Structure 1
Amino acid sequence: MADATGGITDLAWISALYALGHKAANGANPRQVQQEILEHIVRGFDAESGSIALIVQGTDDQLEIAAGTDLPRGTIGNQLPRGIGVFGHVVATGQPILVNGDAAETGLPVRTNEARNRSTHSAMCWPLRVQERTIGALAVNRAADRPRYTVTDLDQGQALTSLLALVISNHQMHVERDNRIVELQTLNATMQRMNASLEDAQNQVIQAEKLASIGQISAGVAHEINNPVAFVLSNLGSLESYAAQICELLSAYVDAERALSPLPPAFLRARTLRESKDFDFLRGDIVALLAESRDGLMRVKRIVQDLRDFSRGGADETWQMVDLHAALDSTLNIVRNEIKYKASIVKSYGELPEIECLPSRLNQVFLNLLVNAGHAIDAHGTITVSTGISGTEAWIRFSDTGCGIPSDHLNRIFEPFFTTKPVGQGTGLGLSVSYAIVRKHGGRIEVDSELGRGTRFTVLLPVRQSPDVAIEVVKAHAAAT
């Protein structure tokens, strides 16, 4: 064995090469490992310099400098012309080559811009092959003042480079496997996000269908209730008139009775019956009962009308000039039974002009905020509804004395399906739907909360809609149909 290659037969050198291979198998940085292996081989072959060129993945013969010693800055990563030079010849033929002298003298094709006046040198280049597949090439070089390499050196290096090719191939497969794992993890995360988005969208569709069904049912029930209420009110009006006439007639009989003396037996029996039945109380109470019944029926009628107004609307709803105070009163009338046992309602209305809006949509916003305020109050509290005008905006504020919202939840309360309520007690859609409705009106919702003190939601709406907002809502409605 030549002295030139004495290093590669040393057990310590072989053990160190094995350690580098193990390092590569454990997924270390590929450039760093390849450089360390190359430097180790350069030392083993007692060479001045060396380089490794690997075939670019996805190509058959396009080479790229993967590692090198004594190379100009920026050379690592450069691609070599196909089939040119020693590397190109070795990769093309799959055979090692020994060059003693100028590479141009070998008759191999070289780069046209390559200098021809380099000093005579000695070099060896081996293909890196794995299972009859060439993955690149390795070259080592000596200066002219050093002994030249021999064919024996070339043959001994061939066995060594086979091991090196296996190490590099394994490392490439390891890197490729890690890349595929990362890609699969990324794809899996993307799929999970898509599934979550699809599930959210499906839940929104289901919820929207439920709300639409409830609205249709409410409108139908309101219509069915309104008809009997209408004729009961009509009959009650007639009954009030008849009762007034009967009471007037009975009063005339009482007056006639007082003018008679002595009373005939029939009048005596009538007086006795009148006194035993407490006619004066009955006459007054009949009037009061009829008035209370009318008030009750009128309340039913208002609730039914409010329910019809609330459930009305949809793709064909048009912008209207609306009295927000009337809209608030209508919504309060609907929600009163929901919160009357937990909170007192205080109205503090300011001066408001009529607002251009989609009334049924705003009714839904007001309902959601009032119901949420009621749910936030554990024991008896107060919900204050106040209004006012600020410049070109109207504001409607809902304040409660409830439990308040934690600061880390404030940034999420308008997210779809975000809720702190137990499963089955809330969809997490109320505030997100309200936020979307207010945004469609060109407005915004502001929230201020303090734990243990309560929460304040302020809805700010433009008094008049800009043409852009109206056009966008029309487009959205058209798309929905």
Structure 2
Amino acid sequence: MADGRGLRSRWHSASLGAKLVLFSAVLTAVSVLAAFLALDIEIRRSVRELLATTLAHHQRMLLNLQKRDLEQLVRTSTLMTDSPTLRAAMEIYRSEAAPGVHVRSDLLATIQNEAAKIAAGLARDLLIVTDSEGKVLASGGRAAPGPLAGADLASRPVLRRALAQDAPVGPQNFAVMRLGDRYFQVGCVPILLQGYVIGALALGDRIDGAYVARLRESFDSDIVVTAGARVLGSTLEAALPPGSSVTIPESTGARSLVLPIGRDEYVAAPLSLNSDQAGLPVTVVLLHSLTRALAPLNQSLLWTLLSCGSLAVILAGVAASMMSRSVLRPLEGFVTFMRSVAETGDHAHRFESSNAGIEVRVLSDTYNQLMESLHQHEQRILKTAREELDRLERLKESEKLAALGRLLSGAAHEINNPLTGVVGNVEILLDREKLPDAVRQRLETVRREGQRIVALVRNLLKVAHRGGGERTPLDVNQVIRDTVAVRRHDFEKAGMTIELDLAASGVTLSASELELQQVFLNIINNAHDALRTTKTHPTLSIRTIAESGEVTISFSDNGPGIEEPARVFEHFYTTKPVGQGTGLGLSITHAIVQNHGGSITADNRPEGGARFTVVLPRGTPQRPAEEIRARPRPASEPASRRSLPASVLVVDDEPNVVELQMAILDSVGATAVGVGSGAEAVELLRRRDFDIIVSDLKMPGDLSGKDLYRWVAAHRPSGTRGFLFVTGDTVAEAAFLEEVRSRCLLKPFSMEEYLTTLREAWHELQTAA
């Protein structure tokens, strides 16, 4: 891999002249190689056709041998019928043959002797004489022993065709006969006497190594004889020994057949010897080695290629070198001019291109235009890069706050569910009249501390849910109080103090509450880190001043101060150790304040410590944010109105919250049914109606509180009037709550808040009815 990259690097860095020479040489070499391949293919085709022609001639010779064998068979058959002794013996055998009658042994001996005399004169491996029923009368030949007298060969197809005498004697009288594990190429003809078939004569040669050797001597070719895929005999015993398997594809006729055998390729000419009694085709394959025939031609051609090709490559390289010098010399001069301009910086100097080619003159004119526009282009790139960097920073911060919002939203939901059970059950216990004072006092303490947890969780949600920057009228003093409440415990635990000096009158302006909380929280976090090194009364003072058109918020501490006040709002600037700060907090703060049309400054106080000053315009009030928040908590109602004669369906995935609501509803006489999922609620609503439905907004499973509301709106439209949501986080679902305009009670709720909200819904239902 490294060598490949090095070669590519050297190629790209090489001169154009060197590339042209190398390209010409490579192109010439490729052309010579292509010519060699084309010539090699043509030679291979010609040799293949020549060998195929030779093998076809050998095939015709082999067919002629079969024809002569057939003529010899006919003559032998005639000779047998002309033998008085054999004819008399077979005539007597025919006349005396009858089912169940024992054949005379002297007749069989006479026929056997006559057959042996004929076989000795023919020099064949096999001779068989049968009667008209296909039973062996006598056998002989060099491949003794043959089939025994009386053996039934009537099932052999070639013998049946000879005895039937339904066609003239021809190629169909040749076939392969298997006797045991021996194969014979046989010809079979009928023995006629006075026009009647009295038997059959079969002559054949055994298909073995000797048979293959005789064929090789006759045709000077390699021979393979197969029965199906099994090799019966072969002159290529190293690659195809007898008993091995080979597949001979069928010849298409248009092209000669080429077979890969061992390491060589052979031109093949198969010739069928017909089939044996099992139906397996027996084939003689004549072979000529194409590899051995091409070897001397390829060697000669290779040497010619190396000598002529090398000479052609050298000549092409020399010609390309001469051409590149005449073409590239003016271009090299222009490159030298550009290098000198780059070194001296004299852009007013011009290249003398009157004697150069038109290409170099065009380059010179283009170079002058390029130098004029280069500066403007660089300025545009720098401006775009700054804008993209600012956009990327804003995107990163938005993604960070969105992830924090999702995390705290889920955490608040999981905290508020068990907290609802704790606070609610405590209030139920406090509602009892007969309760010991010590127990009541402890329960009051539990409720008070629970409300502290509620306030802390809600403040976290306000800071985490930074939305799209919607501006709403808000009280800056209240935003500061809420933000300080998030970190006050950390300050007190570290021995630090937060002092508030807030304007007495209402300090209102139009801004994004969540973004302002982010600004204040970042400054308070930095002050907390700085005050850790202060030994005496570490204090952070926050002051607000309301003027006619703007609001000023000042954060002052008595810490060590700021090392470089002018750089604190730069991206990624931080003086904290590695891993304890990203340097983005104050840069985000600066961006938020500027987005609100305000300003923020940082300096060191004369008496010591750091000071951050935020100035914000009041702006034009927009619609209140409370429209999409939970409804204000209603005041307590007198005990005389505690009765609630309504049927209520309670839906919540937290069993303790369902149990709490059932206990509250039971205490006021309401008929309540509780379920643990939206799916159970739908099944119950299919069977009956309820006056009021109280559902958790976030529930696991296929049906959440929002899905349940939409189902009721589609199937029980009147049920939406008495629909009440309870949830631990209204900020995340503000858009949905604003859309449906349904009641929403924030967890954890008090008993009075819960009952008052249900009575409002019940009262509206009664009024509408």
Q: TM-score if structure 2 supplies the norm length?
A: 0.31
Q: Choose 1 or 2 for highest CA Rg.
A: 2
